[in-house]
């Protein structure tokens, strides 16, 4: 039989009522079986310690594989030759892989991050120049919500190659301050006032103990350094409350806070200075 005759035979066999009924029954029972298998697999995965993002990926991959298997089986039942179809699918897979290589890289990096777990949903992180709370960890991208409620969708390829700072990994976090006072202020008194003001904040931990020290003598101020510890989740509450407490304490104690000042002096040109010097010499003579 020629190739054309083969095709006509396959079409005629596939269009027969018996074949169509068998094909329809195969697809219906196959879809039901796939749903049942996916439901069982999801139950087992949820009982395990596998990450939710990885569970979604595994279920999606299983659904695709079972769908392809069902399609090939149905074609076999219809009498359609599978050799040419597999070759077509292989060629299409290569072409699609080249077209979506960036997406594949995102998926691969997403799987690595799910496995290594540099952060989890709810962590406050800094990724490159972006900073916020992790809302979703997907296979293709990571969703971040910033402090000002902006939603950032970052490709996993970019996330994986960026510097990641996770502020929630450790339960405690140190908050650093530099407070400035005027040169005319009493340094020892200012340090004592600062210690008392820091201790007033309800978010500052007693252990580790806060540290208040003279830091440096700047051009227009004396700088006092403050290190205090707080819970990682209370960082900004601690920062704002300590700033306010120290400012109020300085005002109450009469400690001056310096501000930047610019001193402008007028300088005469060299020729004018020479003339002034000669005129003064002549008058003296």
Q: What is the percent of the chain where pLDDT is above 70?
A: 73
- Going from N- to C-terminal start, the domains of the chain cover 3-99, 118-166, 172-253
Q: Does domain 172-253 have CATH number 3.30.565.10?
A: no
Asked if 207 contacts 245 with a C-beta cutoff of 8 angstroms, the reply is no
The pLDDT score that the predictor gives to residue 175 is 95
Does the fold of domain 172-253 match that of domain 3-99?
no
The pLDDT score that the predictor gives to residue 227 is 96
Q: Which of 26-35, 57-66, 202-211, 249-258 has the lowest mean pLDDT?
A: 57-66
The CATH number of the domain covering residues in 118-166:
2.30.30.60
Q: Can you give the length of the chain in residues?
A: 285
Architecture of domain 3-99: Orthogonal Bundle (1.10)
Residues 161-187 have pLDDT tens digits of: 889 999 888 889 999 999 999 988 899
pTM of the model: 0.58
The pLDDT score that the predictor gives to residue 91 is 64
Q: Is the pLDDT of residue 3 over 60?
A: no
């Amino acid at each position: 039989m020629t190739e054309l005759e083969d095709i006509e035979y396959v079409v005629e066999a596939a269009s027969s009522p018996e074949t169509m009924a068998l094909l329809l029954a195969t697809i219906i029972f196959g879809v039901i079986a796939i749903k049942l298998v996916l439901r069982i697999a999801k139950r087992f995965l949820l009982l395990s310690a596998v990450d939710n993002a990885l569970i979604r990926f595994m279920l999606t991959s299983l659904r695709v594989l079972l769908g392809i298997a069902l399609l090939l089986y149905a074609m076999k039942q219809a009498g359609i030759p599978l050799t040419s179809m597999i070759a077509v699918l292989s060629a299409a897979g290569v072409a699609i892989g080249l077209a979506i290589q960036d997406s594949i890289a995102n998926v691969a990096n997403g799987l690595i991050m799910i496995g290594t777990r540099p952060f989890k949903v709810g962590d406050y992180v800094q990724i490159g120049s972006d900073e916020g709370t992790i809302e979703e960890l997907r296979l293709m991208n990571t969703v971040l919500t910033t402090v000002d409620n902006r939603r950032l969708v970052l490709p996993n390829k970019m996330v994986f190659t960026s510097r990641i700072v996770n502020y929630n990994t450790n339960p405690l976090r140190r908050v650093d301050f530099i407070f400035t006072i005027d040169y005319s202020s009493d340094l020892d008194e200012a340090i004592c006032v600062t210690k008392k003001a820091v201790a007033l904040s309800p978010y500052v931990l007693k252990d580790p103990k806060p540290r208040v020290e003279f830091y440096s003598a700047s051009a227009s101020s004396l700088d006092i350094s403050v290190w205090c510890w707080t819970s990682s989740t209370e960082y900004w509450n601690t920062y704002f409350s300590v700033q306010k407490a120290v400012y109020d304490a300085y005002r109450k104690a009469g400690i001056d806070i310096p501000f930047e000042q610019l001193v402008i002096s007028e300088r005469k040109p060299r020729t004018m200075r020479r003339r002034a010097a000669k005129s003064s010499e002549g008058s003296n003579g």
